[in-house]
Structure 1
Amino acid sequence: MIREFRLPDLGEGLTESEILSWRVTEGQSVTLNQVIAEVETAKAVVELPSPFEGVVTRLHEAEGTVVEVGKAIISFDVPDAGGVPAPAAPAADAAAQRRQPTLVGYGAEPEKAGRPARRARRGFVSPEPAVQPAPAPVAAEPPVPEAGAESAGTNGTPAVQERPRSTPPVRKLARDLGIDLSTVDGTGPQGRILRGDVEAAILRSSAEPSRTPDRPQPVVADAPHLGQGREERIPIAGIRKHTAAAMVSSAFTAPHATVFLTVDVTASMNLLEKLRSRREYDGVRLTPLVLAAKAVCLALRRHPELNARWDEAAREIVRYRYVNLGIAAATPRGLTVPNIKDAQDLGLRELALAISDLAGTAREGRTPPAALTGGTVSISNVGVFGVDAGTPILNPGEAAILALGAVRRQPWEHEGGIALRQVTTLSLSFDHRLVDGAEGAAFLRDIGDVLAEPAMVLALD
């Protein structure tokens, strides 16, 4: 029996993935759960296991192709119940072939008859952290005529023009960003416009040069000395595409505010040196980022308003009673922000090990999708690049992000005199809808106090 395997949703409603490499060839026998391909989603590189045991009959897509979720990518000749391969199913059984088993972590089975299920309305987030299943697509709404929009009907009478198919949250996002949905091509089922289509549209509009209609553009003659090969065009895809869309959405949705604090962290650097000599920290990579992560978890106990998100649809502020701490990681494929689940429960050693493991997995491109979702607050360690400070952009859905600058020896006031001290600058960006300036400043001050004098944990713990 010929069975097709369709590209599954690998988490959080992703709409497409790029096939990086095939691990099998046509005519090859495969076993159940054998890795058949390596694909790159908008968030991570994922290995696809085979859902069947049989013989590969066809690879539908070439390496390097971006494939939409639900499209067939590979076919298998699967033995029937008696163990003998069956002939290809007739066309009448095509609908049955489209059904495939749901694999672990792959989200829901494709909907039947082309009718997507309606997304359940989100309520208040449970205080206990949990990995939620990938949400089903939102049901397409029936076409609604736009006021005043008419076109000629088939009988010569005016006919109303259909409004572009989308959902209320997507239409609101388009209004907020100033995007006309009639100019957006939908990539969802039956041409429905998805959130990612709106975000891609704002990226395109921001990249296009502005033109003044009543002023002709100057014509510049080709410069012969430029020649060919002086420009390189790189497709916007995968992690970089997702990151760009997320940052544009965050910047246009959440009103950012940033505060800065320069801190003498000599005591913290001395503490790290002492800990490295202890047996229980043997082999553990201790860095200023580890102390900053611990300080963030402690400070959030006193300032829960920074561990929250703005739920526009429910008109609610959701405060978390746990900390899924995101660590921004620069990788060859682009920026990712995997998070450490329940970081508030980890000691300094466990937190250091978790950060090292997270960073190593991200650099290898092996971060699982679950680690890239559900974050509540983030840290960006710009100091590793020799940068003193910055204005970080919020990870979408989070209320705060801390940037940790480089630690430098410089003259500093100390005990009534001037001495060479180790100093760093902290930058905190926050969503001003959720956090007032005074609250953001107090939170940053608490973090700075812990890094300036680690014994302050006794007052905050």
Structure 2
Amino acid sequence: MAVKDFALPDLGEGLTESELVAWKVAVGDTVQLNQIVAEVETAKALVELPAPYEGRVSRLYVEPGVTVAVGEPLLAFEVEGATPTEEPAPTPEPSRGTATADAAPEPTLVGYGARPDSTSRPARRARPGLAPASAPAPSAPVGLAERPRATPPVRKLARERGIDLATVTGTGERGLITRQDLDALAAPAVPGEPRPGASAREKRIPIRGVRKATADAMVRSAFGAPQASVFLTIDVTPTTELVERLRAHRDTADARPGLLAVVAKALCIALRRTPELNARWDDAAQEIVQCDYVHLGIAAATPRGLLVPVIRDADGLSLADLAGAIRSLAETARAGRTPPAELVGGTITITNVGVFGVDAGTPILTPGEAAILAVGAVRRQPWEHRGEIALRDVLTLVLTFDHRIADGEQASRFLADVGRVLADPAAVLTMI
């Protein structure tokens, strides 16, 4: 019988840490290869982790709510017939960068699970203070070395008390931050109480997960690209009437296309006439990269925060297929099951603020994109129609664009084309 640790694997997309949301197993459970053992939250999505071994769970290193860096241990297995590995260290969180130089990396598990025929061994962890005899302990990976050293329970306690570990000097072995170090700061002993000087009527919410990723992205976008917006208010009664007919038609009834699907189709058509809006700014190469495909982001409000799943090659989809894709990605996003790979690579985004009863808004660009289109609420209101005043379905579109990539004329022409399709769907025949 050998003990093997399972460390947090590299989840891809540049993610260096994840928060443990829930354990799906307990100490003493016998698990099968690829059985889901834990659920973690990255800055982009909830991810299920499958077991890389068959065996008995002998130890859980981390409590739910604790943030773990890639390469740090999550749990230990007792595995039959395997070569014994070094016993786990007594502390729940060993320091990073202590794997032996010749150790094989953990298998990449997310989305596929471990390969049954895999013979790779997980990286072994050296005991604190001891370097392997065969080689000196390598330095910590780039980007992680600055992270203060503390065990997961201490990290959790610091978050509960609102303490930034970067401001704490650790008194433990090799600078490890201990609970006593936090207590010495005169923080309250009961989690959830305000810090000294804070109002009892204030609530402190840790900035992490999707909220942290969104905040970082918005700051990069707002200060990294000069942004301007153009507005267009139009009569979309022909489109709302078309949607009703499509929902009753036998060929499209199952797809149930809505206004958002029609907007997405109109956007794809308009991009053919103004490709400058389907582009990105490559600062390193000093080039504007225009895309001859449309990877369409659809902003989705979820309990975890704002996500922007991407529909690949949306310009090649029919209206019914677009409607199905939008509905599917929205359901997956709200359930927190969107894979990280589906949240990157967009070329342009639609955000539907109308579902919240909002008439208009000026959205901030998704980093790396040249434009984002906000769709307001449809209002039944008096409007000029055929020389008279009539009650019509009216909405406002707002386009925010990167003024380095496109100018006002191009942005206005693009927005006018989207509005033209919504005001008169038959106009598509003259545009394609």
Q: TM-score, normalised by structure 1?
A: 0.72
SS at match of 2:229: strand
SS at match of 1:64: coil
Q: Which residue in the other structure is 2:27 paired with?
A: 26
How far the C-alpha of 1:313 sits from its partner, in A, is: 1.6
Structure 2 CA distance for aligned equivalents of residues 295 and 261 of structure 1 = 14
SS at match of 2:350: strand
How far the C-alpha of 1:420 sits from its partner, in A, is: 1.1
Structure 1 residues 192 and 303, CA gap change in structure 2 (3 angstroms): farther
Q: Supply the AA of the counterpart residue of 1:41.
A: T
How far the C-alpha of 1:409 sits from its partner, in A, is: 1.1
Structure 1 CA distance for aligned equivalents of residues 216 and 57 of structure 2 = 36
Q: For residues 240-299 of structure 1, give each alpha carbon's deviation from its aligned partner in whole angstroms, at most 9, with x where no partner exists.
A: 111111111110101110000001101001101111111122233322111100001111
How far the C-alpha of 1:228 sits from its partner, in A, is: 6.6
Q: Which residue in the other structure is 2:105 paired with?
A: 99
Residue pair 2:256, 2:320 contacting (<8 A) in 1 also: no
Q: Which residue in the other structure is 2:180 paired with?
A: none
Residue pair 1:11, 1:106 contacting (<8 A) in 2 also: no
Q: Which residue in the other structure is 2:153 paired with?
A: none
1:89 and 2:58 matched: no
SS at match of 2:145: helix
Aligned equivalent of 2:227, options 239, 243, 256: 256
Aligned equivalent of 2:245, options 258, 274, 278: 274
Structure 2 CA distance for aligned equivalents of residues 80 and 453 of structure 1 = 70
| Contiguous gaps of at least 5 residues in structure 2 | 89-97, 114-119, 125-136, 149-197
Q: For residues 377-421 of structure 1, give each alpha carbon's deviation from its aligned partner in whole angstroms, at most 9, with x where no partner exists.
A: 000000011111110000111110000001111111111121111
SS at match of 2:267: helix
Structure 2 CA distance for aligned equivalents of residues 326 and 385 of structure 1 = 19
How far the C-alpha of 1:111 sits from its partner, in A, is: 10
Aligned equivalent of 2:415, options 417, 425, 444: 444
How far the C-alpha of 1:106 sits from its partner, in A, is: 8.9
Residue pair 1:10, 1:105 contacting (<8 A) in 2 also: no
Structure 2 CA distance for aligned equivalents of residues 88 and 353 of structure 1 = 49
Structure 1 residues 452 and 231, CA gap change in structure 2 (3 angstroms): same
Q: For residues 55-99 of structure 1, give each alpha carbon's deviation from its aligned partner in whole angstroms, at most 9, with x where no partner exists.
A: 212211111001112211122222226xxxx544369x9626673
Residue pair 2:49, 2:110 contacting (<8 A) in 1 also: no
Structure 2 CA distance for aligned equivalents of residues 115 and 229 of structure 1 = 43
1:356 and 2:327 matched: yes
1:411 and 2:412 matched: no
Q: Supply the AA of the counterpart residue of 2:50.
A: P
Q: Following TM superposition, where does structure 1 have runs of at least 4 consecutive aligned residues deviating by more than 4 angstroms?
A: 104-107, 109-116
How far the C-alpha of 1:229 sits from its partner, in A, is: 4.4
Residue pair 2:221, 2:364 contacting (<8 A) in 1 also: yes
Structure 1 residues 114 and 424, CA gap change in structure 2 (3 angstroms): farther
Aligned equivalent of 2:145, options 172, 190, 200: 190
Residue pair 1:403, 1:428 contacting (<8 A) in 2 also: yes
Structure 1 CA distance for aligned equivalents of residues 5 and 286 of structure 2 = 43
Q: For residues 118-166 of structure 1, give each alpha carbon's deviation from its aligned partner in whole angstroms, at most 9, with x where no partner exists.
A: xxxxxxxxxxxxxxxxxxx8xx5xxxxxxxxxxxxxxxxxxxxxxxxxx
Q: Supply the AA of the counterpart residue of 1:191.
A: E
Structure 2 CA distance for aligned equivalents of residues 431 and 51 of structure 1 = 45
Q: Which residue in the other structure is 2:5 paired with?
A: 4
Q: Which residue in the other structure is 2:290 paired with?
A: 319
Q: Which residue in the other structure is 2:336 paired with?
A: 365
Residue pair 2:103, 2:123 contacting (<8 A) in 1 also: no
1:429 and 2:400 matched: yes
Moved more, 373-382 or 306-315: 306-315
Residue pair 2:50, 2:110 contacting (<8 A) in 1 also: no
Structure 1 residues 400 and 94, CA gap change in structure 2 (3 angstroms): closer
Structure 1 residues 254 and 94, CA gap change in structure 2 (3 angstroms): closer
Q: Supply the AA of the counterpart residue of 2:146.
A: G
SS at match of 1:33: coil
Q: Which residue in the other structure is 2:363 paired with?
A: 392
1:284 and 2:255 matched: yes
Q: Supply the AA of the counterpart residue of 2:324.
A: L
Structure 1 CA distance for aligned equivalents of residues 232 and 316 of structure 2 = 27
How far the C-alpha of 1:28 sits from its partner, in A, is: 1.5
How far the C-alpha of 1:346 sits from its partner, in A, is: 0.5
| Counterparts of residues 65-144 of structure 1 (less than 5 Å) | 65-80=66-81, 87-89=84-86, 95=100, 99-103=105-109, 114=138
Counting matched residue pairs gives 354
Structure 2 CA distance for aligned equivalents of residues 94 and 242 of structure 1 = 29
Structure 2 CA distance for aligned equivalents of residues 41 and 104 of structure 1 = 12
Q: Supply the AA of the counterpart residue of 2:403.
A: H
Q: Which residue in the other structure is 1:37 paired with?
A: 38
Cα RMSD over matched residues?
2.6
How far the C-alpha of 1:326 sits from its partner, in A, is: 0.5
Structure 2 CA distance for aligned equivalents of residues 22 and 15 of structure 1 = 20
Structure 1 CA distance for aligned equivalents of residues 263 and 18 of structure 2 = 35
Q: For residues 211-244 of structure 1, give each alpha carbon's deviation from its aligned partner in whole angstroms, at most 9, with x where no partner exists.
A: xxxxxxxxxxxxxxxx974221111111111111
Structure 1 residues 400 and 17, CA gap change in structure 2 (3 angstroms): same
Residue pair 1:9, 1:106 contacting (<8 A) in 2 also: no
How far the C-alpha of 1:115 sits from its partner, in A, is: 6.8
Q: Supply the AA of the counterpart residue of 2:219.
A: V
Q: Which residue in the other structure is 1:298 paired with?
A: 269
Residue pair 1:262, 1:425 contacting (<8 A) in 2 also: yes
SS at match of 1:191: coil
How far the C-alpha of 1:10 sits from its partner, in A, is: 1.5
